[in-house]
Structure 1
C-alpha cells in the first residue's frame, strides 16, 4: 500500500469506475464514491460481492474490507478528504472538463487527479484547471480489478512529480503502469485494439467471415501468443535463429500488399445486425453476468500463467 496516499475518491461508478473501486478496496484503501445515477451504490456493492472471490485469488491486502467503501451525495463531499481522485464520467469532452474543474476547485493542489478517458488527450482536459500540473490520464482496461495495464499520460502542463507519484500509487495496487511520453488520441493500447476491430468489421461486412470465425482466429491463434508475448517479440521468433532481422527481410515486403484497410466500414444497420446476432449466438444461453464470471476465472488463471513464464509481469503483491 502507498503510505502517502490512503483515501481515494471515485467519481462515476459505471463499469470502469466500479473496477477502480474493486481494485483499490482489495488493496486496503479507503474509497469514497459519487455517482448521480439511481441505484449506483446498490450496483457497486453487488459487483464487489460478485468479484470478491477473484480478488482474493489474485491476492488482497490484510486490511482489505468492503466496509472501506462509502457513497456520498455530492462531488464536493467525495473529494473533500481525498489523496487521489479518479474521474470516470462518460466520454464527452465538455462533461469531463466540467467535472474535472469541479474536482480541481474542491481539492488540495497536491492531490493527483486521474481521468479514465480512453481517447481524449490530457492537455485538452487541463484547459480551465487552476492546477493543471496535477492532472493525468490514468487509462485502465476492463476488468480493471483484474487486468494490470494502466496507461499514464501527462499533458503539456503535467509535472514530472505528478507522473512519478501516480506511477508509485498504481504500482502499489498491483498495476503495470505504461507511461506514455507523447500525447496522442486513443493513447497506445486502444489504438492497437481499434486497428484490429476495424479490420474485423471489414471482414464481417464483406461477408468473408462471421463474428464467430473472427473470434476463433484470435482465440486459437494470435490471442494465445499475445498473452505471453507482444507482436514484436512474436515476430522476432518468426524469424528463426536470426530473429527480427530475418523476419523483416523475408516478410517485410508483404507490408505493401493491400491486406488491411485503415478506415472503418460504414456502420450500416445490416452490419450492426450481423455483429449483434453473431455475438448473441456465440454467447448462447449465458447472460452477460455469467460470461463475465467465466472471463474473470480465465483471466486470473491466465495472469498466474504469464507470471510463471515472465516473473517481471507478476500481478501479485509482494
Structure 2
C-alpha cells in the first residue's frame, strides 16, 4: 500500500462542489488557500468555475477570486492527498458517506482533519467509513452560503480526538468563521434543530389559518429576527427583563410561556400543506427572481456583518 502523501500547508480539499462546496471553495480561495476540488457529477468542473464567477462580493473579499489556485482532482482520494484540511460536501446518505470517507481516510495524511458538511448525520455514523483513522472525523456544518454566514457547527463523534476538534476550531477561526463546538451528538446538530422548532410552529400557524406565509415571514424578518441577528435568544431575553434580566423574565413570563408551549402545533407535511406553503411563497415573492433576491439578501448580510465586526458583541 502506498503511504499517504504528506500534508501541504495552505492546501484544502473540497469534495463535492454543489451549493455548499462552491461556497467553501470561494471562501478558501479568498483566504489565500490552494484548493483541490472534486465532484463526480458530469460537468461539475465547468459548473464550479461558472458558479464561482457568478458570485458577488462577500465579507473579506471583493473582486475576482484567484482561481489559479484551484486544481480539479481526478478523484476524492486525489483531492485529499496532500491536503492540510478536507471539507466533504457529499449527499446526505450513510452508504455514500461511508464509501467516501473510506477513500478520504486512505488518501489523506495522518492527522489531517476530515470534516463533513452534513446538516444532520451524526459524526459517529459518518466516521464508520474511516476505519484507519476515525479519530480525525468530525462534522463541520456551515450555513448557506458558507462564504457569507460565519457560523460553523463543529461536532465531534464518539471516537473524534481532542486534537482534531482543536485543529478544526483553529482552521475555521483563521478563515474568519465563528465555530461553535457541540458537547453532544444530536440529529440536525444545533442551529438546524432551532430552525426546525420555528418551522414547525410556522407551518402549523399557516395550516390552521392563523397567518399566511407572507405574514409569518414578515413577523420574523421585521420583528425578532432583527434582534436575533445581533444577539441570540438568551441574551435578547435577558435584555428584555430590564434590571432584573433573565431571572425577572422567567419569574414573570415563564408560566404563560409554558402555556404557549403546550399549545404549539404539531404538523405533518401532507401534500395539501406542502401545496399551501409553496403557493404562499409564490404569492409572497411574485415574479421576483430567486438569484436576484439572494444577492440582495447577501448584500444586506454583508453590511450587517461589517457593522457587527465594528461593535463588541458576544
TM, length-normalised to structure 1: 0.91
Describe the SS at the equivalent of 2:146: coil
Matched, 1:195 2:184: no
Cα shift at 1:282 = 2.1
CA distance in 2, matches of 1:206, 1:32: 49
* Alignment correspondent of 1:316: none
Q: Please identify, of 189-198 and 303-312, the stretch whose mean Cα deviation from structure 2 is larger.
A: 303-312
Cα shift at 1:153 = 0.9
Describe the SS at the equivalent of 2:223: helix
Cα shift at 1:67 = 1.5
* Alignment correspondent of 1:50: 54
Is contact 1:12–1:89 with CA below 8 Å preserved after alignment? yes
CA distance in 1, matches of 2:311, 2:109: 43
Alignment of 1:1-318 (within 5 A): 5-51=9-55, 53-55=56-58, 58-60=59-61, 65-129=66-130, 130-259=132-261, 264-310=266-312
Give the unaligned 5+ runs of structure 2.
Answer: 1-6
Cα shift at 1:46 = 2.1
Describe the SS at the equivalent of 1:127: helix
Cα shift at 1:262 = 6.5
Measured at CA, do residues 287 and 73 of structure 1 come closer, stay the same or move farther in structure 2, by a change above 3 Å? farther
Is contact 1:28–1:63 with CA below 8 Å preserved after alignment? no
Measured at CA, do residues 204 and 5 of structure 1 come closer, stay the same or move farther in structure 2, by a change above 3 Å? farther
Describe the SS at the equivalent of 1:174: coil
Measured at CA, do residues 273 and 178 of structure 1 come closer, stay the same or move farther in structure 2, by a change above 3 Å? same
Is contact 1:199–1:261 with CA below 8 Å preserved after alignment? no
Describe the SS at the equivalent of 2:57: helix
Aligned length: 307
Give the unaligned 5+ runs of structure 1.
Answer: 313-318
CA distance in 1, matches of 2:45, 2:266: 37
CA distance in 2, matches of 1:11, 1:54: 23
Describe the SS at the equivalent of 1:138: strand
Listed one character per residue, the Cα deviations across residues 6-49 of structure 1 (whole Å, up to 9, x for unaligned) are 11111111111111111101101011111111222222222222
Measured at CA, do residues 271 and 201 of structure 1 come closer, stay the same or move farther in structure 2, by a change above 3 Å? same
Measured at CA, do residues 67 and 247 of structure 1 come closer, stay the same or move farther in structure 2, by a change above 3 Å? same
Q: Please identify, of 214-223 and 232-241, the stretch whose mean Cα deviation from structure 2 is larger.
A: 232-241
Q: Please identify, of 34-43 and 113-122, the stretch whose mean Cα deviation from structure 2 is larger.
A: 34-43
TM, length-normalised to structure 2: 0.92
CA distance in 2, matches of 1:260, 1:22: 44
CA distance in 2, matches of 1:219, 1:5: 42
Measured at CA, do residues 72 and 260 of structure 1 come closer, stay the same or move farther in structure 2, by a change above 3 Å? farther
